[in-house]
Amino acid sequence: MIEVDVSQRFGDLVVLDRLRFSIGANEFLCLLGRSGCGKTTVANLMAGLLPCSEGSVTIDGVPVDPRRHELAFVFQEPSLWPWRTVRNNIRIGLEIKRVPPHEIDRRVSEMIELVGLEGFEDYYPYQISGGMKQRVAIARAFAVDADLILMDEPFAALDAQTRTSMQAEVLRIWEKRKTTVVFVTHNLEEAVYLAERIILLTEKPTRIKANLEVDLTRPRDFADPRFVALRKRLGELIGTW
């Protein structure tokens, strides 16, 4: 169980204003909001990359700490280490947490198969496309047995078609690996398609506008009337800041 209770200020600027929510185990949660609403800040706080000015993020009661907890982050920009091959990029999290070598190899092979990159294990990042790079980043995130995986608009830099296929991929991998995922996005359709629950954020100073459960069966259909209705509802909520 992950509890978030934070306020965040940078100098005089109040970015987050008493944001409180909790996340259940293995839940797929979307943080939805306009660009600049501080959702990346929330993600960074939850990952322990940013210190909280006020409040805390706890995992099972313990303040989140990258050294103690198993965390992972899929960034929006390409984050692969260019001097390492695909295979060696995927093993980063396992390497840091000192997983035994044969276990690392096993998990890396598993992830490569899961994201569909067989044959590209020894390629360098400069040789693969943007979509493939993000798949490696996702493989890297899911390779560890994460307590929490954060994804900050991971598909924003990809073209529309790649984006759609990646959305399905992420769900498939999540269903296989069963981890808690917090997915940050500004894209309404993406949120409705992916999330079990959506937290809608206001603009700065950011508060929670809505906390909705998405009760649609999977696989979800963008054209389904219930999908469209929910999307409309979100649109209305966002429109009325």
Partner 1 sequence: MKANAEILDVPRASAPAVAARRGWPIQVLLHNLVAGLVVLAVWQVATWLVRSVFFPSPLQVVRAMADLWINGDVTGNSLLTHIRWSLQRLLAGFSMGVVLGVPLGLVMGLYKPLYTGTRAALEPFRFIPPIAWIPLTIVLLSGFSRYVFLIWLGAFFPIFVATLVGVPRVELIHKNVAKVHGAGRWYILTRVVIPSVLPDILGGMRVGMGTAWMTIVAAEMSGGETTGLGRMMVNYAELLRIPEIVVGMILIGVLGFLMNEILLRIEKRVFRWRWEVSL
Which parts of this chain interact with partner 1 (CB under 8 A)? 47-49, 65-73, 75, 77, 79, 81-84, 92-93, 96-97, 116-120, 122-129, 131-132, 140, 144, 162
Q: Report, in Å, the least distance between residue 45 CB and partner 1.
A: 12
Cα–Cα distance measured from residue 103 to residue 124, given in angstroms and rounded to the nearest whole number:
23
CA atoms within 13 A on the CB side of 236: 6
Q: Report, in Å, the least distance between residue 85 CB and partner 1.
A: 8
Q: Report, in Å, the least distance between residue 69 CB and partner 1.
A: 8
Q: Report, in Å, the least distance between residue 13 CB and partner 1.
A: 21
Nearer to partner 1, 7 or 79 (CB): 79
Q: Is the dihedral of CA 36, 18, 22, 138 positive or negative?
A: positive
β-strand pairing of 71-74 with 148-152: parallel
Residue 164's φ and ψ, nearest 5 degrees, are -60, -45
Give 231's contacts (C-beta < 8 A, 6+ positions apart): 188, 189, 192
Nearer to partner 1, 140 or 177 (CB): 140
Nearer to partner 1, 24 or 130 (CB): 130
Nearer to partner 1, 151 or 230 (CB): 151
Cα–Cα distance measured from residue 209 to residue 229, given in angstroms and rounded to the nearest whole number:
18
Nearer to partner 1, 78 or 235 (CB): 78
Q: Report, in Å, the least distance between residue 67 CB and partner 1.
A: 4
Q: Report, in Å, the least distance between residue 102 CB and partner 1.
A: 20
Q: Report, in Å, the least distance between residue 46 CB and partner 1.
A: 10
Cα–Cα distance measured from residue 104 to residue 150, given in angstroms and rounded to the nearest whole number:
22
Cα–Cα distance measured from residue 143 to residue 149, given in angstroms and rounded to the nearest whole number:
11
Distances (CA, A) of 22 to 43, 85, 121, 124: 14, 37, 37, 39
Nearer to partner 1, 10 or 81 (CB): 81
Q: Which tokens is 176 given? A: 């296989």
- Looking at the DSSP bridge assignments, the partners of residue 8 are 16
Nearer to partner 1, 69 or 197 (CB): 69
